[in-house]
Amino acid sequence: MANAKVIQAKQEAVDAVTAKLRESATTVVADYRGLNVAQATELRKQLREAGVEFQVLKNTLLRRATAAAELTELDEVLTGPTAIAFSAEDAVAPAKILNDFAKKNEALKLKGAVVEGRVVGVDQIKALAELPSREGLLSMLLSVLQAPVRNFALAVKAVAEKEEQGA
């Protein structure tokens, strides 16, 4: 019979993972089998710098968390060694880092993801990884918003210069 403290600790771990699944903008699941220590350390470093939490978790714990978070569609990819990356802030960062790392290191295999509460496959992860970063998207939006104001200012300046020349 299991110790009550052990059961409570496991339940707390499931609750913590459930909360991360619900709160994350993007959660990416990968198979890390075959990565050596140096590669795993490098991957963890890149993810940490981007503010992404990376953990290796047992599939039984993850299945209980996906059931609690109502994301049971993710269960079909929870086989073999499973690493999971959570990002509460940037929806693109974990997909981009893991996809780029998988291109350089064939041992890392993407399995699936949860993006904004929806379970997606490997193809969608790769498509998400091709998007610019959050900062890049914001700078594009800013330039689009500034364009009309800049064009108006240039037109007013041209009219003012034309009137100065005519006077």
Angle at 94 between CA 22 and CA 64, to 5 degrees: 35
With cut-offs at 50, 70 and 90, classify the pLDDT of residue 157: confident
pTM for this model (two decimals): 0.71
Residue 6 CB-half CA count within 13 A: 3
| C-alpha neighbours within 13 Å on the C-beta side of residue 93 | 21
- pLDDT, mean of residues 52-74: 88
How much is the pLDDT for 2?
A: 63
What is residue 42's predicted lDDT score, i.e. its pLDDT?
A: 92
pLDDT band at 67 (very low <50, low <70, confident <90, very high): confident
Residue 1's pLDDT is what?
A: 53
69 pLDDT more than 60: yes
Average pLDDT of the chain to the nearest whole number: 85
Give the residues across from 83 on adjacent strands.
Answer: 30, 56
Could you report the per-residue pLDDT of 139-156, keeping only the tens digit for each?
Answer: 878 888 888 888 888 888
Share of the chain above pLDDT 70, in %: 96
Which residues, at least 6 apart from 98, have a Cβ–Cβ distance to it below 8 Å?
A: 28, 30, 43, 47, 85, 108, 110, 125, 129
pLDDT, average across residues 8-27: 87
Q: pLDDT tens, 99-139?
A: 999 888 888 888 888 888 888 888 888 888 887 766 777 78
